[in-house]
């Protein structure tokens, strides 16, 4: 069964469209199952800050690649690609429509296109992560500069995750990090891809309201609870938008002023992330872009109709 991918910037209603699409094709006699492509929704317990749909709001539609990692585990594109591709193949084999939904750029592209990744070795990575904990990212970045100056120049000195990965790859391959970049192959399936977006001023307003809702609904409490489960030890989870800002606010005393700053920083960081998402997704000319700015019932119905037509190869 042909997959449908629903992509686009944060806050554009991708999850809602996926549910509506699944309901629509069900009325046509075809089941649909949803495959998450949001890197932070892979984590158990990271619910409020990732806008993860609660189980009771999933309408009984099967969801895959949600809550599959502890916050202490490192999410990687290669690991996700293997697991999510297996989900898509299994869903299609059951005669259902795989609906891939998310905004994590590398995760989506690695799934839709047959990417091959450089070698990885958990023991080598763990050794570099221990070194990171001992000396900090600055010293590790300096080590990378000695081993691979070009890689160090392309990676921010504060980016611990990419610095560790570069050192791991250089050690394993004996080649510069750039020489081991993922190789992009042909499209894996005949996937229909629709993208959701709207005017920046409209989306900025939605992001502001989304950020306020997350904090008002208990993001700080969620982070405090995750600290007991090892959030600080998670190289990936602890850097997620919202979570990183709340952690910094807690470290600074956790008062009202610090939390107001965390809220504002989360909004600003999300806007910056949206710019990167747009830049990445707009390069893919396979995407059929749909405007979701009006957010009226009529536009929601039109967007759903367009997604169904794209999936059915109808212009």
Q: Is 295 left (phi over 0), alpha (psi -120 to 50) or beta?
A: left
Q: What's the pLDDT score for residue 78?
A: 87
Domain extent listing, the chain? 4-117+184-311, 122-181
Q: What's the pLDDT score for residue 177?
A: 84
If one looks up domain 4-117+184-311 in CATH, what number appears? Answer: 3.40.50.300
Instruction: Confirm or deny that 29 is annotated as ligand binding.
Output: no
Q: What's the pLDDT score for residue 187?
A: 87
Both tokens of 256, joined, read: 């009202």
If one looks up domain 122-181 in CATH, what number appears? Answer: 1.10.20.140
Q: What's the pLDDT score for residue 132?
A: 94
pTM across the whole model: 0.85
Q: Cα separation of 43 and 81, whole Å?
A: 16
Instruction: Confirm or deny that 9 is annotated as ligand binding.
Output: yes
Digitized pLDDT (tens) for each residue of the chain, 315 residues in all:
899 999 999 999 999 999 999 999 999 999 999 999 999 999 999 999 999 999 999 999 999 999 999 999 989 888 999 999 999 999 999 999 999 999 999 999 999 998 877 777 889 989 999 999 999 999 999 999 999 999 999 998 988 888 998 999 999 888 888 766 666 667 889 999 999 999 999 999 999 999 999 999 999 999 999 999 999 999 899 999 999 999 999 999 999 999 999 999 999 999 999 999 999 999 999 999 999 998 899 999 999 999 999 999 864
Q: Cα separation of 19 and 258, whole Å?
A: 37
Instruction: Confirm or deny that 13 is annotated as ligand binding.
Output: yes
Instruction: Confirm or deny that 11 is annotated as ligand binding.
Output: yes
Instruction: Confirm or deny that 8 is annotated as ligand binding.
Output: yes
Q: What's the pLDDT score for residue 315?
A: 47
Instruction: Confirm or deny that 218 is annotated as ligand binding.
Output: no
């Amino acid at each position: 069964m042909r997959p449908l991918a629903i992509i686009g910037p944060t806050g554009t209603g991708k999850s809602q469209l996926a549910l509506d699409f699944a309901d629509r094709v069900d009325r046509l006699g075809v089941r649909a199952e949803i495959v998450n492509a949001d890197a932070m929704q892979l984590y158990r317990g990271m619910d409020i800050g990732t806008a993860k749909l609660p189980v009771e709001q999933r309408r009984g539609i099967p969801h895959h690649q949600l809550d599959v990692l502890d916050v202490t585990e490192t999410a990687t594109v290669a690991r996700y690609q293997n697991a999510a591709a297996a989900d898509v193949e299994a869903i299609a084999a059951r005669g259902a429509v795989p609906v891939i939904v998310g905004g994590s750029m590398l995760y989506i592209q690695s799934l839709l296109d047959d990417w091959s990744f450089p070698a990885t070795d958990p023991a080598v990575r763990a050794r570099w992560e221990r070194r990171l904990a001992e000396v900090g990212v600055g010293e590790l970045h300096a080590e990378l500069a000695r081993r691979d100056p070009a890689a160090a120049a392309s990676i921010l000195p504060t980016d611990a995750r990419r610095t560790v990965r570069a050192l791991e790859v250089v050690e394993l391959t004996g080649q510069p990090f750039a020489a081991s970049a993922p190789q992009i192959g042909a499209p894996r399936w005949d996937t229909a891809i629709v993208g959701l977006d709207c005017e920046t001023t409209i989306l900025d307003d939605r992001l502001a309201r989304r950020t306020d809702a997350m904090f008002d609904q208990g993001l700080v409490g969620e982070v405090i609870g995750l600290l007991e489960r090892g959030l600080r030890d998670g190289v990936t989870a602890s850097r997620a938008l919202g979570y990183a800002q709340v952690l910094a606010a807690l470290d600074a005393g956790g008062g009202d002023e610090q939390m107001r700053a965390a809220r504002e920083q989360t909004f600003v960081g999300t806007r910056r992330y949206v710019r990167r998402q747009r830049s990445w997704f707009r390069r893919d000319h396979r995407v059929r872009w749909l405007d979701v700015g009006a957010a009226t019932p009529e536009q929601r119905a039109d967007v759903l109709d367009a997604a169904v037509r794209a999936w059915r190869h109808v212009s």
